[in-house]
Chains A and B, each alone.
Chain A
Amino acid sequence: MRINCPFCGPRENGEFTYLGDAKPVRPEGGAGEEAFYDYVYLRDNVAGEMSEWWYHGGGCRSWLKAVRNTVTHEFLSVEAAPGAGGKAVQK
């Protein structure tokens, strides 16, 4: 498996660490237990295209958001996380 890091180019997946589904968004602090339960524990676990977080720990230490097919393992896109590499972003 090769992941095309936007900073380093295509690298073997052994350089990366996988976190999981990039769809769940961390709720605001006051959102309450139920919202956090959903965020922390529930997953769509799709068979097909899924956006997901990978960490290039063996390279540039960027978090990358990839779209990958969980059935074929094909990567459709890889982009850097909002805060990767550069300055703070406006919220």
Chain B
Amino acid sequence: MKYSIFSLARAALSGHKNWPRTWRDAAPKERYDVVIIGGGGHGLATAYFLAHEFGIRNVAVLEKGWIGSGNAGRNTTIIRSNYMLPGNIGFYELSMKLWERMEQDLNYNTMVSQRGIVNLYHSDAQRDAYARRGNAMRINGIDSELLDQAAVRKMMPFLNFDNARFPIQGGLLQRRAGTARHDAVVWGYAHAASGLGVDIIQNCEVTGFVRDAAGAVTGVETSRGTIGAGKVGMAVAGNSSRVAAMAGLRLPIESHVLQAFVSEGIKPLIPGVVTFGAGHFYVSQSDKGGLVFGGDIDGYNSYAQRGNLPTVEDVCEGGMALMPVIGRVRMLRQWGGIMDMSMDGTPIIDRTPVDNLYINAGWCYGGFKATPGSGLVFAHLLAKNEFHKEGALFRLDRFRRGAMIDEKGQGAQPNLH
């Protein structure tokens, strides 16, 4: 059923009794052309693009829990393409362009809201670094503006301009950045992919790979039986190492916990997304009114999906330093997600040394904004066995070659990216 205000109004007359499932509840078939492990945003987007762009519809997405139960359902919903380095910059802009047409593509309102992101700077050196970044964006056809203090103050008068340890000097603005409703992205892709014939199979955990004599992957073992596959793509950020280990692979990835926070709902305060340049804090406000904020990862390897108090305090200290009007706003809920922290802070979309097994991993804390781009680029690789133009540098062997894509310049220390 097509979603629109008219179908809603019609449904209202019948008490909404006739809405079909948003996606089909599929049982696993014996074999698929492509099996995607991971029913998060990336996996579902990959399946959607396989079906929609490349005509491959005999596709299954296997999800061990409920779709969107990983990082797709526990992020801070920010979308942006304010990257600096070749490899990243074109990819994230591809993703941004897909965000801008997502609702029409999927017939699902994912509430893509381009209210802008401002990265604040507090020193000349930070300003210069943002100038480099912003100019790189402009060279790549991406909008960016360097704001001075007065312009930031006009946009966000509630920030601490007058009594700050590290006074705000200005910011780098990308107006087209913003937020999207994270769960709706998952459901929207599920809705559209399912409509194109993709089987979305929940509560189906992959427990091993089926390999032929030559070692090539020919299927997966799951909690719901063996499923044959022409190709298998893994999109299980947070657990990439565990799944790859089933195929005997070690990855340049560590799993770390990133906490995120939401406040009680308040009337509109924050126009877009703002990031503090002198501490670990970034914030936006959801349509429901909650301040959605976060900061740095806890810093230690973890699969626990929960973090500890020093990080909570560090984030709130950053928040109060930046905007002391939120002192009496209450933190409602804190949670943790498991990040695939890669060795250069940049993702991996590649073939693996195991035939027919493909990997989409290493998203660090930036996977959400990449969702549509990742889906398209990964689907391209799976369908054609060739790299998409904007996903050609996310190679697994870049570490061996010394071709790291290191936006932060932190090197092989995942918890610093």
Direct contact of A and B (CB under 8 A): yes
How many chain B residues touch the partner (CB < 8 A)?
A: 25
Q: How far is the CA of A33 from the CA of B397 in the complex (A)?
A: 13
CB contacts (< 8 Å) of B252 on chain A: these are 41-43
The binding surface of chain A is classed by DSSP as mixed
Per-residue 0/1 for A37-71: is the Cβ within 8 Å of any B Cβ (1 yes, 0 no)?
10011111111001010000000000000001011
Q: Chain A residue with minimal CB distance to B255?
A: A45
B308 x A47 contact (CB < 8 A): no
A14 within 8 A of B: yes
B250 x A14 contact (CB < 8 A): no
Q: Chain A residue with minimal CB distance to B300?
A: A18
B299 within 8 A of A: yes
Min CB distance, A19 to chain B, in Å? 8
A77 within 8 A of B: no
A79 within 8 A of B: no
Min CB distance, A77 to chain B, in Å? 16
Per-residue 0/1 for B296-337: is the Cβ within 8 Å of any A Cβ (1 yes, 0 no)?
000111111000101000000000000000000000000000
B301 x A41 contact (CB < 8 A): no
**Candidate in B245, B255, B303, B414 with the most chain A CB atoms within 10 angstroms:** B303
B253 x A70 contact (CB < 8 A): no
Min CB distance, A73 to chain B, in Å? 6
Using known A-B contacts A41-B412, A42-B252, determine if residue A20 contacts B301 with beta carbons closer than 8 Å.
yes
Min CB distance, A71 to chain B, in Å? 5
B399 within 8 A of A: yes
A43 x B250 contact (CB < 8 A): yes
CB contacts (< 8 Å) of A52 on chain B: these are 300-301
Q: How far is the CA of A13 from the CA of B302 in the complex (A)?
A: 14
CB contacts (< 8 Å) of B308 on chain A: these are 1, 13, 73
Using known A-B contacts A41-B343, A44-B250, A50-B301, determine if residue A14 contacts B241 with beta carbons closer than 8 Å.
no
Instruction: Tell me which of A19, A20, A21, A70 contacts B303 (CB under 8 A).
Output: A70
Question: Could you name 26 residue pairs across A and B whose Cβ atoms are closer than 8 Å?
Answer: A1-B308, A12-B310, A17-B299, A18-B299, A18-B415, A20-B254, A20-B414, A21-B254, A37-B399, A40-B343, A40-B412, A41-B252, A41-B399, A41-B412, A42-B250, A43-B252, A44-B241, A44-B245, A44-B250, A45-B241, A45-B254, A45-B255, A45-B301, A50-B301, A70-B301, A73-B308
